[in-house]
A = this chain, B = another copy of it.
Amino acid sequence: MANVTAVTREPSSEQELPHPYLLFLGDTVHPGFAKTAFGLKQWAPELCLGQFALPSAQIDLGLPNLRPAEARAKGARALVIGVANSGGFIAASWIPALVEALQDGLDIISGMHARLGDIAELRYTAERHGRQLIDIRTPPPRIPIATGLKRSGKRLLTVGTDCALGKKYAALSIARAFAERGVDADFRATGQTGIMIAGSGIPMDAVVSDFAAGAAELLSPDAAPDHWDVVEGQGSILHPAYAGVSLALLHGSQPDVFVVCHDPGRTHLLGDEQFALPPVEEIIDLTVRLGSRTNPAIRCGGIALNTSKLEAQEAEALCAAESRRLGLPVADPIRGGPAFDALIENCLAAPASS
């Protein structure tokens, strides 16, 4: 009867999420509601053995369709709920499929607001079969108060002018580019999709505020001098609802380098028309000023523009113009190319004065 309630994960490699995964798509019709599954397939294809959807679903990740027993036979260890519906609930229509997964030997991993263990049928089945119900949004226990003490190794943090404009994808792209250059680097996840991709991490938005900076310290522990942690940012230092999370993450991460993520087509905060999007320069200036409290050597490595709504030529021209204006590398990490190479080189360059 052990290991039945939500597993408490620590951000150490010893206690990674059980994998590889079978991606559960529920009865999803629109791809936008399967963001978690698409993100996993794009960024952690080696973790994704197959997909499992209800008959009414209309999306396809291009992975083999497997039932839980088949996936288990191929080595899968967990079913991941790959759906991100509005409200974060676990639909009643999914329960038979989730029960089948538990019966056939898979743990279940969920990033929904609703807790798996609160559903009696899942709890009962997991207990009977000795399986784990893992709620990603549960922070680890015993998070310490932050000390502000300098840690060894190097750190990069993605920050933003707003929420939901590419901080996770920028961090993943940068970590991958570092690795391609032979740099020892880890992506450090701070949100639920990022945690599933990385296999570990801490959901910053679920940590009690007194411990938020301590959680960020725990997330990127002491490391070898040349090792880089690339930390997924959250919110924005000028967001009226989430700035506290962003500042705790900045102070606790102690980044040597930060990259500002921005959507050039956005004029106001998402869903908050009364607030103008802050200029990139203001985010750079405030991040240096506040971040230097725990790392006096902090510097901006460049700007990651989300140009997904532009044509390739427009995007390239915009990045070049912004780069001239700001005197920093500007690139769309998803497009890559020479501009992104320049951004990566600048992030890795030794700081001018130390």
Residue among A213, A242, A290 with max Cβ neighbours from chain B (10 Å): A242
Is there a chain B Cβ closer than 8 Å to A145's Cβ? yes
Is there a chain B Cβ closer than 8 Å to A207's Cβ? yes
With beta carbons under 8 angstroms apart, the residue of B147, B209, B252 that contacts A248 is B209
Q: Smallest Cβ distance from A27 to chain B, in angstroms? A: 28
Query: How many Å lie between the Cα of A290 and that of B213 in the bound state?
Result: 19
Query: Considering only CB atoms and an 8 Å cut-off, how many residues of chain A contact the other chain?
Result: 37
With beta carbons under 8 angstroms apart, the residue of B241, B246, B275, B293 that contacts A240 is B293
List B contacts of A206 (CB < 8 A): 208-210
Is A148's CB under 8 angstroms from B241's CB?
A: yes
Known contacts A240-B294, A244-B251, A247-B247; A275/B148 CB under 8 A: yes
Is there a chain B Cβ closer than 8 Å to A312's Cβ? no
Query: How many Å lie between the Cα of A244 and that of B291 in the bound state?
Result: 12
List B contacts of A240 (CB < 8 A): 146-148, 213, 251-252, 293-294
Is A248's CB under 8 angstroms from B238's CB?
A: no
Q: Which of A257-306 contact B (CB under 8 A)?
A: 272, 274-275, 286, 289-290, 293-294
Is there a chain B Cβ closer than 8 Å to A76's Cβ? no
Q: Mark A215-255, 1 if CB is under 8 A from B, else 0.
A: 00000000000000000000001101111111111011000
Residue of B nearest to A244 (CB): B248
Q: Which of A83-129 contact B (CB under 8 A)?
A: none
With beta carbons under 8 angstroms apart, the residue of B149, B204, B238 that contacts A274 is B149
Is there a chain B Cβ closer than 8 Å to A329's Cβ? no
Residue among A146, A147, A206, A210 with max Cβ neighbours from chain B (10 Å): A210
With beta carbons under 8 angstroms apart, the residue of B209, B243, B286, B294 that contacts A207 is B209
With beta carbons under 8 angstroms apart, the residue of B210, B213, B241, B243 that contacts A147 is B241
Query: How many Å lie between the Cα of A294 and that of B276 in the bound state?
Result: 11
Residue of B nearest to A293 (CB): B238
Is B145's CB under 8 angstroms from A213's CB?
A: no
Is there a chain B Cβ closer than 8 Å to A205's Cβ? yes
Residue of B nearest to A235 (CB): B210
Residue of B nearest to A206 (CB): B208
Known contacts A148-B272, A247-B247; A204/B209 CB under 8 A: yes
Is there a chain B Cβ closer than 8 Å to A212's Cβ? yes
Q: Smallest Cβ distance from A269 to chain B, in angstroms? A: 8
Query: How many Å lie between the Cα of A309 and that of B245 in the bound state?
Result: 36
List B contacts of A290 (CB < 8 A): 237-238, 243, 286
List B contacts of A238 (CB < 8 A): 290, 293
Beyond contacts A205-B210, A213-B243, A244-B248: 16 other A-B pairs, Cβ-Cβ < 8 A, are A146-B240, A148-B240, A148-B241, A148-B272, A148-B274, A149-B274, A205-B209, A206-B209, A209-B209, A209-B212, A240-B294, A243-B247, A244-B244, A244-B245, A244-B247, A275-B293
Q: List the interface of chain A (C-beta within 8 A of B).
A: 145-149, 204-210, 212-214, 237-238, 240-249, 251-252, 272, 274-275, 286, 289-290, 293-294
The 12 sampled A-B contact pairs (Cβ below 8 Å) are A146-B241, A148-B240, A148-B241, A148-B274, A149-B274, A205-B209, A209-B248, A210-B242, A212-B244, A213-B242, A238-B293, A244-B251
